[in-house]
Amino acid sequence: MSESRESRPRRFLVCEPRHFAVQYAINPWMNPDRPVDVDLAREQWQELIRTYRAHGHTVDAVEPVPGLPDMVFAANAACVVGGRVFGSLFHAPERRPESLHYDTWFKAAGYTVYRPEAVSEGEGDLVWTGRYVLAGTGFRTTREAHREAQEFLGHPVIGLTLVDPYFYHLDTALFVLDDANVCYYPEAFSPGSREVLRRLFPDAVEATREDAMSWGLNSVSDGRHVFIAPQAEALSERLADHGYVPVPVDLSEFHKAGGGIKCCTQEIR
């Protein structure tokens, strides 16, 4: 059945975890007393980059900055649609300096960057579907940022309310499979938001809490291949049944900071 799915070459922006650490706690996954194996994190991250390139995708990199341990989570830095870069204003003061370094990279690459006035955490909460932007709120990105994103990007923005602190970003509870469909964990959303998702995506692949806690929803799809945490075995099987090709990549060391494959991957459109 996988033959019916078509992959499309993507361009990704990443940041090497040279300074990765858990030095503070800003989500339920983080514990500064739990040691991080930086060498293992770098090996896992390098394997992700090799895997992307082996599947025909282009990967660019931002230079990591000392003192910014979460800069590896490139997805949170911006949402890029049609060459327009909607930047970030992080909720946590510890992460706010990251925005400047990503903005600098985008500007040097020739992009116009919009800096939001309201708290907004890039693709962590702003997910492009190919037709509109799904926008998470409840823990980080604010509804006012949704309005700013719509004005700047010029595409409809559909707000979704997150209700489970373990899934504090939209990209921990939902990912886009292709231009027509998504995969998501319904109970991460408010009742009204679940109804919106059911109406928009009646054929969506629905995930369980176990799938979500295994970081299966912090995945990246190119339309055919789904780069997914190997811990999410049941979800991988379900995706395969729907014609997608799971590509397991272990980023378990980053789970200690509340991040995974998608968190480490900014898509440039």
| Residues classed as catalytic | 169, 263
Pairing of strands 266-267, 225-228: unpaired
In angstroms, what is the C-alpha Rg of the chain? 17
Give the residue from 141, 29, 139, 7 showing the smallest Cα distance to 79: 141
Reduced 3-state DSSP string for 161-180: EECCHHHCCHHHCEEEEECC
Cβ atoms of 160 and 191 closer than 8 Å? no
Largest alpha-carbon pair distance within the chain? 47
Q: How far apart, in whole angstroms, are the C-alpha atoms of residue 266 and residue 269?
A: 10
Q: How far apart, in whole angstroms, are the C-alpha atoms of residue 126 and residue 142?
A: 11
Q: How far apart, in whole angstroms, are the C-alpha atoms of residue 81 and residue 120?
A: 15
Between the alpha carbon of residue 27 and those of residues 89, 106, 168, 257, the distances in Å are: 17, 28, 8, 8
